[in-house]
Amino acid sequence: MTKIAPFLLSALCAATTAQAEELNFCYDPYPPYTIGTYGPASNGLKVELLDAVTSRIENLTATVTILPWKRCQQEARNGAVDGILPLFPNPERLEYMAFTDGTFDEQSVLWHRPDQFEDSYVWDGGFSAISHLRLGMLTGSYVDEEMEAAFEGRQGITRARDIQTLMELLVLGRVDLVATDAAVGRHILEINGWQGQAQRLARPVASRTSHFGLSKASGASRYLEDFNRAIAALHAEGAIDAILSGE
């Protein structure tokens, strides 16, 4: 049996270690997509998705830091972080990030109390029949321009800085509808034990595909094709759906 001298073995191990790279991603605190306060993320659906992607890329790992949203975007712009967990591309973000292929569709839905509508009610997607109700939304969020115009022209829109507050206002009867991400609203109801006190309209207000953003300034955009291959494989296996469903 051929023996490798200890110093050669150490050199080989060092070379292998040197080839490995760790990318640092960021996102804002947004359960269940990211779990934790500011600093290292402890878990979350989008964190798990990143782990699944990087596990398929040789010699690549990743961490996630939870930051205020504006700071997260600025640090991706200047290269202080390597990327942002799945988000929506827009012209400004395209200037400083390369976006991967789509990861999954994020749905914005309307939540309401069970007694707000008849059991047989089916929303047709129009706003004229429901814009007399009091709508709650996150401060600074964007869901649908037509929806916001319709409600602002009637009762106005109640804004809150977090989903926990919005869903509490809904349960207490202070607003009649809450427009927010389907997974986020469901998570808030579950952790507070409010599952029987609010439900969503079946038809989403909007559905948009989210993508990983890789910083051009940090050089992480060179992994774009690697990310795309990993995402395609995860889609083919149904692994992304399994992560999002909590399986």
Of the pLDDT bands very low, low, confident and very high (cuts 50, 70, 90), residue 141 is confident
| Digit-coded pLDDT (tens) for 26-82 | 999 999 999 988 999 989 999 999 999 999 999 999 999 999 999 999 999 999 999
Q: What are phi and psi of 221, to 5 degrees?
A: -65, -15
| Digit-coded pLDDT (tens) for 174-233 | 999 999 999 999 999 999 999 999 999 999 999 999 999 999 999 999 999 999 999 999
Q: What is the mean pLDDT of the chain?
A: 92
The helix or strand, by DSSP H or E, that contains position 182, with its residue range, turns out to be helix 182-192
Q: What percent of the chain has pLDDT over 90?
A: 85
pLDDT of residue 238: 97
Q: Tell the burial category of 188 from Cβ atoms under 10 Å away from its Cβ (0-12, 13-18, 19+).
A: buried
Which residues are CB-neighbours of 1 under 8 A, at least 6 positions away?
none
pLDDT of residue 1: 47
pTM, full prediction: 0.84
- Domain 108-205: CATH superfamily is Periplasmic binding protein-like II (3.40.190.10)
- Domain 22-104+207-244: CATH superfamily is Periplasmic binding protein-like II (3.40.190.10)
Residue intervals of the chain classified under CATH 3.40.190.10 are 22-104+207-244, 108-205
More confident residue, 199 or 14: 199
Contact yes or no for 108/207 (Cβ under 8 A): yes
